[in-house]
């Protein structure tokens, strides 16, 4: 690394930054994408590696908020645009940039860092753990049938509240959808605030047929928009125009009736044979609405957001817990020496924790900081990690106790595709 210069970029270097990012991912940025970078890139949160004046590696971070257990929304650092040119791989540039960012976020007082990984084997070495997961689903609409939910002999109540689904224009969607999502994000652990540029990417160009025409629909009840969907209609086989599918880009609902109504709408779109989704929660409730659940097929399952605890003590204090008790963790952190050691988590009856250094105390479980990052949002069980040797129980049954304290009622998820 000694021959490379490492520093934040200046405004006149954004084009070189964009070229590095695009080249590393085998693409080219459009002028609109470069303009978006010029508006939103926080220069003093960027870092780039230069070789003889050429920008050969880069990354950046943004300050945002994330929903953690207990519905608290602390500030976190979101890492994005991590790239190294193909000509400069395996020279330690990525490690140097990640080290820079960890120190920078620590100096800013951010206790947690989050990122999305293009490859699964990269970021554990820097203390990140896969903390949430997503599934892609597919429905053969010709075979799928939804239940008619009504008052049954057992007394189950119908979701028959008046309301309707409306198609709207992109300009209306850009105004209404962020307000719906703003109310939704505190209800789901793992959700992040969404920058304006990501809304533009999600809503796309409704007139472009390159990936299929894009449509926007909302569920309205009593004059209030309670949920929305963004979807495309496109051929499954480019050689057969009429073999088409509905491609769900995003669905967000604030009520059960909005959720069910929007799914019914998508599955009822004529002249389409399939419905395919992007990454959705692994606990998607709509599967239980199908007469035959096998028609709601999981076609892939993978990691979503990766979490890194920058300040273990503060991060553990910022979330709430499901069970009262005391747990002592022995944390190994090779990159952030201030995290290395033992921490006592004392949780009261309201789920609020007092976290303190306890280097002289007997520990209950020992683990690395990347395992703790994976478990932080409550979606990855300590007991399962213990079964494969990634958590060491120093006291019998403590991994199960940690699960009872950490794991919530629903797995974490993040809707936004950064």
Ordered DSSP codes for 22-68: HHHTT----HHHHHHHHHH--GGGEEEEEETTEEEEEEEEEEEEB-B
Residues 289 and 330 in one domain: no
pLDDT at 195 over 80: yes
**Can you say whether residue 302 is alpha, beta or left, with left for phi > 0 and alpha for psi between -120 and 50 degrees?**
beta
Is the full-model pTM beyond 0.85? yes
Quick check: is 418 catalytic? yes
The reported pLDDT for the residue numbered 81 is: 92
Residues 383 and 276 in one domain: no
Tell me the CB-side half-sphere exposure of residue 13, using CA atoms within 13 A: 21
Kindly report the length of the chain.
Answer: 418
Q: Are 271 and 244 in contact (CB under 8 A)?
A: yes
Between 157 and 344, the higher pLDDT residue: 344
What is the span of the domain harbouring residue 356? 312-406
Between 138 and 29, the higher pLDDT residue: 138
- List, for residues 103-130, the tens digit of each pLDDT value: 999 999 999 999 999 888 899 999 999 9
- List, for residues 46-60, the tens digit of each pLDDT value: 999 999 999 999 999
- List, for residues 148-190, the tens digit of each pLDDT value: 875 444 333 344 457 899 999 999 999 999 999 999 999 999 9
Q: Are 173 and 230 in contact (CB under 8 A)?
A: yes
Tokens matching residue 403: 């699960």
Q: Tell me the pLDDT of the chain averaged across its residues.
A: 92
**What is the Cα Rg of the chain in Å?**
23
Residues 169 and 285 in one domain: yes
If one counts the domains in the chain, the total is: 3
Residues 327 and 213 in one domain: no
pLDDT at 37 over 80: yes
Residue 146: partners with Cβ closer than 8 Å, 6 or more residues away? 263, 264, 267, 289, 290, 291
- Residue 211 located in a structural domain: yes
CATH at residue 227: 3.40.630.30
Residues 289 and 142 in one domain: yes
Residues 279 and 171 in one domain: yes
CATH at residue 369: 3.30.1050.10
Catalytic residue, candidates 17, 123, 128, 215:
123
Quick check: is 25 catalytic? no
CA distance 54 to 28: 18
The reported pLDDT for the residue numbered 157 is: 35
- Of 53, 75, 110, the last residue of a domain is 110
Catalytic residue, candidates 137, 219, 321, 418:
418
Residues 148 and 83 in one domain: no
- Of 269, 298, 327, the last residue of a domain is 298
The reported pLDDT for the residue numbered 263 is: 97
- List, for residues 367-412, the tens digit of each pLDDT value: 999 999 999 999 999 999 999 999 999 999 999 999 999 999 999 9
């Amino acid at each position: 690394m000694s021959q490379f210069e490492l520093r934040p970029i200046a405004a006149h270097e954004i084009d070189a930054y964009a070229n590095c990012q695009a080249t590393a991912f085998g693409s080219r940025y459009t002028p609109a994408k470069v303009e978006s970078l010029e508006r939103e890139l926080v220069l003093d949160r960027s870092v780039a590696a230069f070789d003889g004046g050429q920008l050969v590696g880069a990354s950046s971070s943004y300050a945002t908020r994330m929903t953690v257990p207990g519905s608290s929304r602390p500030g976190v650092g979101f890492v994005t645009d991590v790239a190294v040119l193909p000509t400069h791989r395996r020279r330690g540039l990525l490690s140097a940039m990640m080290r820079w960012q960890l120190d920078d976020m620590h100096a800013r007082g951010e206790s947690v860092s989050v990122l999305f990984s293009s490859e699964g084997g990269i970021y554990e070495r820097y203390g990140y753990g896969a903390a949430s997961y997503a599934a892609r689903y597919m429905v053969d609409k010709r075979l799928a049938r939804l239940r008619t939910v009504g008052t049954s002999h057992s007394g189950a109540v119908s979701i028959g509240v008046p309301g309707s689904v409306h198609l709207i224009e992109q300009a209306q969607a850009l105004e209404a959808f962020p307000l719906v999502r703003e109310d939704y994000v505190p209800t789901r652990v793992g959700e992040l605030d969404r920058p304006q540029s990501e809304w533009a990417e999600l809503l796309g160009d409704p007139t472009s047929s390159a990936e299929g025409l894009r449509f926007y629909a909302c569920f309205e009840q009593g004059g209030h928009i309670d949920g929305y969907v963004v979807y495309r209609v496109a051929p499954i086989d480019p050689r057969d125009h009429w073999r088409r599918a509905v491609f769900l880009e995003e669905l967000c609902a604030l009520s059960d009736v909005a959720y069910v109504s929007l799914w019914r709408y998508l599955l009822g779109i004529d002249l389409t044979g399939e419905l395919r989704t992007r990454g959705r929660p692994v606990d998607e409730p709509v599967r239980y609405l199908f007469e035959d659940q096998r028609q709601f097929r999981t076609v892939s399952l993978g990691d979503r957001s990766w979490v890194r605890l920058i300040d273990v003590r503060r991060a553990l204090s910022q979330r709430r817990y499901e069970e009262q008790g005391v747990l002592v963790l022995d944390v190994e952190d090779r990159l952030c020496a201030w995290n290395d050691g033992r921490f006592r988590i004392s949780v009261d009856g309201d789920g609020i924790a007092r976290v303190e250094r306890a280097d002289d105390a007997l520990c209950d479980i020992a683990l690395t900081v990347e395992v703790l990052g994976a478990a932080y949002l409550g979606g990855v069980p300590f007991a399962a990690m213990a079964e494969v040797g990634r958590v060491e129980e120093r006291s019998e049954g403590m991994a199960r106790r940690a699960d009872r304290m950490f794991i919530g009622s629903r797995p974490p998820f993040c809707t936004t595709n950064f």
